[in-house]
Amino acid sequence: MATELLEEMLSGPAGQKNKIQVNPAKMEHGVHHDLESFTLVLFYAAMKRGLESGAWDTHPEVQRIRKFYCTAFGGHTIDEIVTGRARLLIPKPDFLLDALDEPMFHLLFGCRSLLQHQYDDLHHSRKNEINQLLGNQQRKIITYGELYGVYKIAISKFFKAQ
């Protein structure tokens, strides 16, 4: 699930932070939430496959990658999941990106960049409020076109590697 939706769940009723009261009818669900979720599933699948296949067993950072995988995707509460997702962005997981082959690097690096822009925008709410007051309502969200651009680059790298 997209981080913005998870954080809405954490905010709970007005004035009662961390008292979870999920009301899906009140949540605004956009296409960018689905694209974010799909991007997160890509990270999960790529890391799971890399770890379970043994492809990274000889990589010097394999233990760090395992720990990172557990932190990013092993949360059981909404708060743990939100915290784990943030680890995909801050700090940038160079040790993971270095373990990837070129096509997968371009796919995950591109997806991470899209997530970074969307999360940055989400967490600059004051800037967003000011922009809306000024009539600048552009929000930086993941679009199909941007995600398709990332896929296109990764696929071109895949075919060059063949």
Question: Is residue 45 pLDDT above 90, yes or no?
Answer: yes
The pLDDT value recorded for residue 122 is 67
Q: Which tops the pLDDT comparison, 151 or 15?
A: 151
Mean pLDDT value of segment 40-52: 95
The pLDDT value recorded for residue 123 is 64
Question: Is residue 21 pLDDT above 70, yes or no?
Answer: no
Task: Please write the tens of the pLDDT for every residue from 73-89.
Answer: 999 998 899 899 889 98
What's the rounded Cα separation, in Å, for the pair 55 and 66? 12
Burial class (CB in 10 A: 0-12, 13-18, 19+), 86: middle
What's the rounded Cα separation, in Å, for the pair 42 and 102? 16
What's the rounded Cα separation, in Å, for the pair 108 and 160? 18
The pTM assigned to this predicted structure is: 0.80
In the predicted model, what is the mean pLDDT of the chain? 84
Task: Please write the tens of the pLDDT for every residue from 50-63.
Answer: 999 999 999 999 99
Question: Is residue 137 pLDDT above 60, yes or no?
Answer: no
Task: Please write the tens of the pLDDT for every residue from 100-113.
Answer: 999 999 999 999 99
Cβ neighbours of 132 (radius 10 Å): 12
The pLDDT value recorded for residue 13 is 59
Task: Please write the tens of the pLDDT for every residue from 116-132.
Answer: 988 887 666 555 555 55
